[in-house]
Structure formats: C-alpha cells, structure tokens
C-alpha cells in the first residue's frame, strides 16, 4: 500500500512536469507535453482507479501551483479527464457464462473517447457563442494571429496567407480534437505495453485486430455528414463538419483492425505491417484508405473473414 501511494504521487508529479515543460518553449517541449498523460495511464492501468485518482489530483494541483489555476484547469480537462475515462472503462470486466472474464471491448472504448472529443467540441462552440462569428470566427482570429506572426515581414504574403487561413479554419477544431484523441490512444497503448513488459498490467492486451465498432456508429457519421451539407456555411454546418472529422477516428482504427487481421493470416505478417506503417507515416493518402476500410468493415465484416484465414490457408 505504501509503495502504491508513492508510485501514484510520483506518477502525478512526473505527469505535471511533462505538461509544464511546454512553458519552456520549443518543439521538444511540445512533444514532452503530449506525453503528459503517460505516467497517469501507467498508474491507473497498473495500480487501479483509486491510485489514478491520487496521481491525477497531485498532477492537477502541481500544475495549478506552478502555472496558475487556468493552466491547472486546462491540464485537468485535457489530460486527467480523458485518462480517468480510459482507466475506468479499460478495467471494467464481467464474468462470462463459462467463468472467464470479459473485458470492456476496445472498439467501444474508442467510441466513448470519440464521444468525449465531441463533447469538447460542443463546449468550445458554446463558449464562443458570444464572439463575432462564433467558433469559426474565434478560430479565424487565432489562426490570423498565429500565421500573421509567422509571416511578419514577408512581402506579398497577404493573399496566399488569407487563402491558407480560409482553408485551414474550416477543419481546425476537428483536427485539434483528432490530434488530442490520437495522442491519448497512443499514450494508452504505450502505457499498457510497458506494464505488460514488466507484468504489472491489470487487464490483458487490447489488440488492434480486436477493434470492433457498434453497429450504430456509421449512423452518427452519416448524421454529421447530412447536417454539414444542410447547414451550409452557417454555424451548424461548421460544427457538423468538424464533428464528422472527429467521428472518422474510430473508423480509422477499425480499418487498422482489418489491416492487422489481413496481415495476421500471412506468413510475412511483421514485414507487411512494417511496410504498411512506413507508408502510413511518410504519406497521407493511406489514412483515407484505412478510414474507408473501417467504414466498409461495418457491413462487410472483413476483419472476421481475415481472422479465420491462417497462414496454412493462404492461397
């Protein structure tokens, strides 16, 4: 018990230090800040929800003391809340009729996290209702300041800069949420991997090939797409467009599940996955392909078909 308490406090302090590193400036510190949830996830997934609550409280208080109350609040909303959801849902389990434990499915966890991202998007829209142009106007103002500072002193940059801001502003809120969700998922995978390496994990591995989305998930994406079209250039259309972008996240991982299931039925599994992820990192077009696979998977059941195909059945 004493060791668990020390580890929880240490995890909270380390998470706070990683997050506070962004105050020093520089690209490297941004990367460290992105790893802020990692210590909390290791505490939660390795010691349980109670230990996480201690670590999270320590981290929020440390960030608030050093960076101020608003900085502490932003840390709590961006890191502690999402980690709390991941830890709680990940550690849920029930006893199956055969006596084995059925753990909370990774696909449903993805949907819950996506819902959390949509709530954040909605809160941003509500907080900017009084601003000129609402959320879109606030985003354009933010991008104008950011890009304006970067292009200061560059002759003839006004028109290209305006076009860049116009295009980027349309999808910026959705891309911010997607980035946040992606880093939360990556941190969770890293934490679970390290814990499994040392035998300290509380639940079995959540494998990519096991991701299966609920049947109603495509309806949410379709509804957001229809609202984006009907809403036009108004606030409803803007919010729906960015919500649709966020809703693509679970389909991306469902598409990865299809890829992993396909590779799992081949003798050169590791090589295939290495080549695939190389092209995924260096080129953007495979992302659209993977999302498309995830959408098709909901009706075609490709993952289950590939999972039934072993190396000895390869044609």
- The one-digit pLDDT tens for each residue of the chain (315 residues) are 678 899 999 999 999 999 998 877 766 778 888 899 999 999 999 999 999 999 999 999 999 999 899 989 999 988 999 999 999 999 999 888 888 889 999 999 999 999 999 999 999 999 888 888 888 889 988 888 877 655 555 545 566 677 788 888 889 999 999 999 999 999 999 999 999 999 999 999 888 888 999 999 999 999 999 999 988 778 889 999 999 999 999 999 999 999 998 888 777 888 989 998 888 888 778 899 999 999 999 888 888 777 665 544 433
Number of domains in the chain: 2
Contact assessment for residue 135 and residue 128, using Cβ atoms and an 8 Å cutoff = yes
Confidence (pLDDT) at 158 = 60
Confidence (pLDDT) at 314 = 39
Confidence (pLDDT) at 131 = 83
Q: Last residue of a domain, which of 31, 62, 91?
A: 91
Q: Does residue 36 sit in the same domain as residue 56?
A: yes
Q: Last residue of a domain, which of 91, 117, 142?
A: 91
Q: Of 215, 227, 231, 248, nearest to 118 (Cα)? A: 248
Q: How far apart are CA 38 and CA 189, in angstroms?
A: 9
Q: Give the burial string for 28-64 (b: 16+ CB within 10 Å, else e).
A: ebeebbbbbbbbbbbbbbbbebebbbbbbebbbebbb
Confidence (pLDDT) at 305 = 79
Q: Last residue of a domain, which of 64, 91, 118?
A: 91
Give the residue carrying structure tokens 């959320």.
135
Q: Does residue 150 sit in the same domain as residue 246?
A: yes
In the three-class reduction of DSSP (H, G, I as helix; E, B as strand; rest coil), residue 211 is classed as: coil
In the three-class reduction of DSSP (H, G, I as helix; E, B as strand; rest coil), residue 164 is classed as: helix
CA 77 to chain centre: 14
Containing structural domain, residue 230: 92-313
Q: Does residue 133 sit in the same domain as residue 82?
A: no
Q: Please give the angle made by the CA atoms of 197, 113 and 54, to the nearest 5 degrees.
A: 60
Q: Does residue 284 sit in the same domain as residue 140?
A: yes
Q: Does residue 123 sit in the same domain as residue 66?
A: no
Q: Does residue 143 sit in the same domain as residue 280?
A: yes
Stated pTM of the model? 0.88
Q: Of 23, 20, 12, 18, nearest to 59 (Cα)? A: 12
């Amino acid at each position: 018990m004493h060791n668990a308490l020390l580890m929880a406090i240490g995890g909270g302090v380390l998470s706070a230090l990683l997050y506070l590193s962004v105050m020093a400036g520089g690209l490297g510190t941004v990367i460290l800040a992105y790893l802020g949830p990692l210590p909390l996830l290791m505490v939660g997934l390795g010691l349980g929800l109670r230990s996480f609550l201690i670590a999270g409280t320590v981290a929020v208080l440390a960030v608030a003391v050093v960076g101020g109350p608003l900085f502490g609040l932003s840390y709590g909303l961006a890191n502690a809340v999402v980690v709390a959801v991941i830890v709680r849902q990940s550690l849920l389990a029930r006893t199956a009729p055969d006596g084995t434990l059925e753990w909370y499915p990774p696909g449903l966890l993805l949907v819950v996290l996506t819902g959390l991202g949509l709530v954040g998007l909605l809160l941003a829209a509500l907080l900017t209702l009084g601003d000129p142009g609402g959320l879109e106007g606030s985003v354009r103002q933010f991008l104008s300041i950011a890009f304006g500072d970067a292009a200061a002193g560059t002759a003839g940059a006004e028109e290209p800069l305006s076009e860049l801001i116009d295009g980027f502003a349309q999808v910026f809120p959705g891309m911010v949420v997607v980035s946040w969700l992606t880093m939360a998922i990556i941190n969770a995978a890293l934490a679970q991997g390290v814990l499994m390496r040392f035998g300290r994990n509380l639940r079995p591995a959540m494998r990519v090939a096991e991701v299966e989305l609920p049947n109603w998930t495509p309806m949410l994406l379709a509804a957001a797409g229809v609202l984006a079209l009907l809403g036009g250039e108004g606030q409803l259309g803007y919010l729906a467009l960015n919500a649709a972008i966020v809703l693509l996240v679970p389909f991306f991982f469902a598409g990865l599940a299809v890829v992993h299931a396909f590779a799992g039925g081949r003798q050169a599994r590791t090589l295939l996955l290495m080549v695939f992820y190389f092209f995924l990192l260096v080129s953007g077009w495979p992302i659209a392909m993977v999302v498309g696979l995830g959408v098709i998977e909901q009706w075609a059941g490709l993952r289950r078909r590939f999972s039934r195909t072993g190396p000895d059945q390869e044609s």
